[in-house]
Structure 1
Amino acid sequence: MKTAAALHILVKTEAEAKALKDKIEKGADFATLAKKHSMCPSKKQGGDLGEFRKGAMVKPFDQAVFTKDSDEKSVIGPVKTRFGYHLIRVLYTN
C-alpha cells in the first residue's frame, strides 16, 4: 500500500490559498504560514499531517498527493475539498 507524508495549510477561500502560495513561492516558510493561517488542528505542528496511506484522506487531497510528481520545495494547490482550500507540500511518497 502506498504511503505519503505531507504538510498542508487549510483556508476558507481560494483567494487566500493563492495569496499564501505566492508568499511561499517568494520564500516564506510553509510551516510558519500554516501555524498562522491554517484552520486545521495540524497547524500546531506547522501543518504536518505525518504519514498516511493512500485512500485515508478526502479524494481530491488524496489524488493531489499521490498523482503529482513533486519535491519538497513545490507546493500543490489550491486543492478544493469539502473542508476548504488546501496548499500541500508532499514530503515523500512510497
Structure 2
Amino acid sequence: MAQCNASHILVGTMAEAQELMQRIASGEDFAALARKHSKCPSGKDGGKLGWFSRGQMVAPFEKACLAGKEGEVVGPVKTQFGWHVIRIDGKK
C-alpha cells in the first residue's frame, strides 16, 4: 500500500494557488506561506498533514500526492474544500 507524507496550503481561488506556486518556485518558504495563507487548520503547523494511506484523502488530492515525487510541490489541485498547493514530504 502506498503512503504519502504531505503538507499543503488551502486557498479559495486558482489565482491564489498559482501565485503561491510561483512564490515557492522563487524560493519563498512553504511553511511560512502556509501559516500566513492557508484556510486549513494545518496552516498553523506549516501545512503539515503527516502520513496517510490510499483512501484517506479526497480523490484529487490523493491522486496528486501519489503522482508527485518526494520533495516536489504540486498544484493547483481543486477539491470540494478549495485549491491546494501540495508539497510531497515523503513516500513509502
TM over 0.5: yes
Matches of 1:32 and 1:67, distance apart in 2: 25
Instruction: Report the residue type matching 1:64 in the other structure.
Output: A
Work out which of the residue numbers 58, 76, 83 in structure 1 matches 2:81.
83
Matches of 1:78 and 1:22, distance apart in 2: 11
Map residues 1-94 of structure 1 onto 2, 5 A cutoff: 1-68=1-68, 70-72=69-71, 74-94=72-92
- For 1:86, what is the secondary structure of its paired residue? strand
The alignment's TM-score, normalised by the length of structure 2, stands at 0.96
Identity among equivalent positions (%) equals 51
Aligned residues: 92
State the shift of 1:67 in Å: 2.0
Matches of 1:56 and 1:71, distance apart in 2: 19
CA RMSD of aligned residues (A): 0.8
Where do 4+ consecutive residues of structure 1 move more than 6 Å? none
User: Structure 2 stretches of 5 or more lacking a match?
Assistant: none
State the shift of 1:2 in Å: 1.7
